[in-house]
Chain A
């Protein structure tokens, strides 16, 4: 009797096993280890469009030759066990409840795509359409009327130092291309005489002088007008000239930009210094400072001028933190403005953080992270307090990097500081885009 009961139990357990096995369906081996068809599809579309051939075909659906070539290329580039269906959709406006996507053309190499398939979509643009971006002019959002002026010093009668491999004109041209869209007016300063005119408070083309940005493309040297080659500007080996420059920066609320190296280490004027050289064989240049020059006096005097301190001769100092990294802020702006300098740079002329308190400065933009109290690249704003109210008056952007200058860093620093907006054109304009969908499947096996 008990044997019969046991047999009944076995029958029940067997039933449970069969029932559970029926419901516990194991996946197909292909589903266990799937090839990522979605990524393969996307990368195939990207490769097909690498020379814009896919875009061309998508907008020429009646061109049998183009589509025949596309199908052959698709078949040739995919693995033999892969089947596909490529469909091009026109992107409609969708207004009034109209269909957003309508199929235009489709090619396939199989009646169906097997038991598993996956797809990727890719948006292609018509070659007839140009997508523009319109930069905001710096200063316009701040009630600055017509915005501010960009001056690029490209003085033909001044030489550069630590711009090795480049010339001032080439750097000026690159800066013009990078930055002029963001400024209301860009003026190339062609000679030291024109610089003298600006320092005297007279604009060159009727542009607003106040609040301008002045970029010195001569590297560690600064152009000096011939008219400034006399006392008191020539005092202390032209240190007083750099002091005057600082005062002008304060007076006109300029932002002075030093693109590389130790700022204002030399003064340059090929006529004024035709017989002297910078101790490295570059004539038309004079090291700033007493006793035939001791360079660092230029920066010190300049900062005194910005801070409107009484002129006192003395040396500045810079540090050598070595390899430095772009700040997080600057990296973010790289993506926004589409400027991609190397994240790592070498700095051997970084300014000390102590200048912030000594000269009443504030850093508004760190292009590079501070390293051990050295700022490899930052935009400084001078703080003026009047009647209990503080405001910025005069600015200084110093990139204390080792030669050769990367002009993109200059552009990135200025744009990061002023943050002009970029207005993109509409990418979804009717009949300017087509959607290409590539669906892939696998044949053979289980």
Chain B
């Protein structure tokens, strides 16, 4: 064998190996592309599966029943109209866990908030968690997802003056200012009781205006706020079927406040908790007087009070006292009617506040994030739908990934 033979064989083998590698890389890339496309198609199908069926039982969102199939469509509607209650029962990815010992044995709650004075605490024991949803969808061990619902319209409110009481409102869409939109607002003006026998009282006033080309508006009311008054403004921005909600509360300085807690979806009881009792964060024996009401949104975008019982019955007006042994009051919510539970409270004649809890996730345009963390995944596909939740427009976004390795060799 000559040197010529040896050199030629070495060069030939090296060339073959090189080209096999190059071909393999091309083929591998194509295969991964195919796998990605399959995941993307599955993502779109899965999103429709979730949004276009109510799950089973179909009213699982309105009670404490264990869901046997996953779906968030409103059982009383068709198409992309979702249940505001089913979404409440999803274990939020972004929420904090809060401990409230008085509701033993279920003492852990998942807390969501979208700003000062708004709370949505759902019992962990009744929440549908991510791993259960994966099992119900048949995705266990193969795929992961994150389902997020974000309001189409973000309504931001800032108080600009107390006399006259004025606010600056901004309505922004996901891609454009919400210009020319009608703003219907509801002003809740709370006056704190000045004697021991008095509870906080409130009035609700309504009005409307239109946003400018920049999507902003100024609301000037005929009221002024005194030292013993608190106000809260809820604004509905709407045009062409797209409705957004925003709110602002001006609580007076106090380190004590009331937090409404959804104690049990089965009985639809809301517990009113003193914040000192949450995570055992404060001393016992401190009391807050409260006055609670429930309001629903009418077709004319005004708030209408719905009776929770006799106005003098316990649970609507009363006292919350911190510490073990001091019972907490409860309020029965009205079935499947979405609305806002408004609890006005006061520590004394000058310190108090307003706590609001949406009954139905859309009442205060709470966002929802449910599922795994897409940031930790190698490759994620997303898909989007416009949906309506309790007349409020949301975007439903599904981030979807495969749990099996799909790596492009470089």
Residue positions of A touching B, CB distance < 8 A: 1-3, 5-7, 9-10, 13-14, 17, 20-21, 24, 26-27, 32-36, 39-40, 43-44, 46-54, 57, 68-70, 72-82, 344
Contact residue among A35, A48, A72 (Cβ-Cβ distance under 8 Å from B176): A72
In the complex, whether B179 has a CB less than 8 A from a CB of chain A is yes
If A3-B11, A26-B30, A72-B176 are given as contacts, then 9 extra A-B residue pairs at C-beta distance below 8 Å, sorted by A number, are: A2-B8, A13-B19, A32-B36, A36-B47, A36-B383, A46-B386, A76-B178, A77-B173, A79-B174
Contacts of B79 on A, CB cut-off 8 Å?
43, 46
In the complex, whether B284 has a CB less than 8 A from a CB of chain A is no
Contact of B383 with A35 in the complex, beta carbons under 8 Å: yes
User: A272 to nearest B CB, angstroms?
Assistant: 40
Cα distance A73–B153 when bound, in Å?
A: 10
Cα distance A14–B19 when bound, in Å?
A: 8
Cα distance A1–B7 when bound, in Å?
A: 11
User: B72 to nearest A CB, angstroms?
Assistant: 14
In the complex, whether B300 has a CB less than 8 A from a CB of chain A is no
In the complex, whether B29 has a CB less than 8 A from a CB of chain A is yes
Q: Chain B: which residue is nearest A80 at the CB level?
A: B175
Contact of B40 with A32 in the complex, beta carbons under 8 Å: yes
Contact of A51 with B240 in the complex, beta carbons under 8 Å: yes
Contact of B19 with A40 in the complex, beta carbons under 8 Å: no
Contact residue among A24, A68, A73 (Cβ-Cβ distance under 8 Å from B241): A73
Contact of B4 with A76 in the complex, beta carbons under 8 Å: no
Which parts of B19-41 form the interface with A (CB within 8 Å)?
A: 19, 22-23, 26, 29-30, 33, 36-37, 39-40
Binding site of A, secondary structure by majority: helix, strand, loop or mixed? helix
User: A410 to nearest B CB, angstroms?
Assistant: 21
Contacts of A44 on B, CB cut-off 8 Å?
386
Contact of B11 with A10 in the complex, beta carbons under 8 Å: yes
Most buried by A among B16, B23, B153, B242: B242
Contacts of A10 on B, CB cut-off 8 Å?
11-12, 15
Contact of B241 with A50 in the complex, beta carbons under 8 Å: yes
Contacts of A34 on B, CB cut-off 8 Å?
40
Q: Chain B: which residue is nearest A81 at the CB level?
A: B175
Name 22 A/B residue pairs within 8 A (Cβ), A-sorted: A2-B4, A5-B8, A6-B8, A6-B15, A26-B33, A27-B33, A32-B36, A35-B383, A36-B44, A43-B385, A47-B80, A47-B242, A48-B241, A50-B241, A51-B240, A73-B178, A73-B239, A73-B242, A76-B176, A77-B386, A80-B176, A82-B175
Known: A7-B11, A51-B241, A69-B239. A79 touches B384 (CB 8 A): yes
Known: A1-B4, A3-B8, A48-B240. A43 touches B177 (CB 8 A): no
Contact of B239 with A43 in the complex, beta carbons under 8 Å: no
Cα distance A436–B115 when bound, in Å?
A: 39
Contact of B174 with A17 in the complex, beta carbons under 8 Å: no
Contact of B240 with A26 in the complex, beta carbons under 8 Å: no
Cα distance A49–B388 when bound, in Å?
A: 11
Q: Chain A: which residue is nearest B39 at the CB level?
A: A33
Cα distance A33–B241 when bound, in Å?
A: 30
Cα distance A278–B189 when bound, in Å?
A: 54
Contacts of A6 on B, CB cut-off 8 Å?
8-9, 11-12, 15
Q: Chain B: which residue is nearest A38 at the CB level?
A: B44
User: A334 to nearest B CB, angstroms?
Assistant: 13
In the complex, whether B248 has a CB less than 8 A from a CB of chain A is no
Known: A6-B12, A76-B177. A43 touches B386 (CB 8 A): yes
Contacts of B101 on A, CB cut-off 8 Å?
none
Contact of A39 with B176 in the complex, beta carbons under 8 Å: no
Contacts of A75 on B, CB cut-off 8 Å?
173, 175-176
Contact of A77 with B242 in the complex, beta carbons under 8 Å: yes
Contacts of A40 on B, CB cut-off 8 Å?
383-386
Contact of B7 with A3 in the complex, beta carbons under 8 Å: yes
Contact of A76 with B173 in the complex, beta carbons under 8 Å: yes
User: A217 to nearest B CB, angstroms?
Assistant: 25
Contact residue among B11, B37, B393 (Cβ-Cβ distance under 8 Å from A77): B393
User: B331 to nearest A CB, angstroms?
Assistant: 24
Cα distance A343–B177 when bound, in Å?
A: 45
Cα distance A7–B152 when bound, in Å?
A: 63
Known: A3-B11, A76-B175, A78-B174. A32 touches B33 (CB 8 A): yes
Cα distance A75–B383 when bound, in Å?
A: 18
Contacts of A27 on B, CB cut-off 8 Å?
33, 37
In the complex, whether B88 has a CB less than 8 A from a CB of chain A is no
Cα distance A438–B48 when bound, in Å?
A: 19
Known: A5-B8, A13-B19, A39-B44. A47 touches B176 (CB 8 A): no
Contacts of A68 on B, CB cut-off 8 Å?
180
Cα distance A388–B57 when bound, in Å?
A: 50
Contacts of B8 on A, CB cut-off 8 Å?
2-3, 5-6
Most buried by A among B39, B44, B153, B238: B44
User: A431 to nearest B CB, angstroms?
Assistant: 23
In the complex, whether B387 has a CB less than 8 A from a CB of chain A is yes
Cα distance A72–B384 when bound, in Å?
A: 20
Cα distance A7–B215 when bound, in Å?
A: 70
In the complex, whether B228 has a CB less than 8 A from a CB of chain A is no
Cα distance A66–B393 when bound, in Å?
A: 19
Known: A2-B8, A40-B384, A46-B386. A72 touches B179 (CB 8 A): yes
Contacts of A9 on B, CB cut-off 8 Å?
12, 15
Cα distance A421–B153 when bound, in Å?
A: 45
Contacts of B80 on A, CB cut-off 8 Å?
43, 46-47
Contact of B240 with A33 in the complex, beta carbons under 8 Å: no
Cα distance A78–B393 when bound, in Å?
A: 11
Contacts of B16 on A, CB cut-off 8 Å?
13
Q: Chain A: which residue is nearest B12 at the CB level?
A: A6
Cα distance A54–B33 when bound, in Å?
A: 39
Contact of A69 with B175 in the complex, beta carbons under 8 Å: no
9 closest cross-chain pairs (CB), A and B = A76-B173, A75-B176, A80-B175, A73-B240, A43-B386, A2-B8, A50-B241, A53-B240, A36-B44
Cα distance A33–B174 when bound, in Å?
A: 22
In the complex, whether B156 has a CB less than 8 A from a CB of chain A is no
Cα distance A114–B90 when bound, in Å?
A: 37
Contacts of A48 on B, CB cut-off 8 Å?
240-242
Cα distance A123–B95 when bound, in Å?
A: 41
Contact of A32 with B37 in the complex, beta carbons under 8 Å: yes
Contacts of B47 on A, CB cut-off 8 Å?
36, 39
Contacts of A47 on B, CB cut-off 8 Å?
80, 241-242, 386-388, 393
Cα distance A81–B384 when bound, in Å?
A: 13
Contact of A70 with B240 in the complex, beta carbons under 8 Å: yes
Q: Chain B: which residue is nearest A1 at the CB level?
A: B4
User: B406 to nearest A CB, angstroms?
Assistant: 11
User: B28 to nearest A CB, angstroms?
Assistant: 11
Cα distance A44–B80 when bound, in Å?
A: 10
Contacts of A70 on B, CB cut-off 8 Å?
240
Contacts of B175 on A, CB cut-off 8 Å?
75-82
Contact of B383 with A53 in the complex, beta carbons under 8 Å: no
Cα distance A314–B153 when bound, in Å?
A: 69
Most buried by B among A3, A72, A344: A72
Q: Chain B: which residue is nearest A34 at the CB level?
A: B40
Cα distance A433–B2 when bound, in Å?
A: 87
User: B76 to nearest A CB, angstroms?
Assistant: 9
In the complex, whether B381 has a CB less than 8 A from a CB of chain A is yes
Contact of B36 with A33 in the complex, beta carbons under 8 Å: yes
Q: Chain A: which residue is nearest B40 at the CB level?
A: A33
Q: Chain B: which residue is nearest A78 at the CB level?
A: B175
Cα distance A188–B11 when bound, in Å?
A: 102
User: B240 to nearest A CB, angstroms?
Assistant: 4
Cα distance A74–B215 when bound, in Å?
A: 14
Cα distance A10–B22 when bound, in Å?
A: 13
Q: Chain B: which residue is nearest A40 at the CB level?
A: B384
Cα distance A19–B39 when bound, in Å?
A: 30
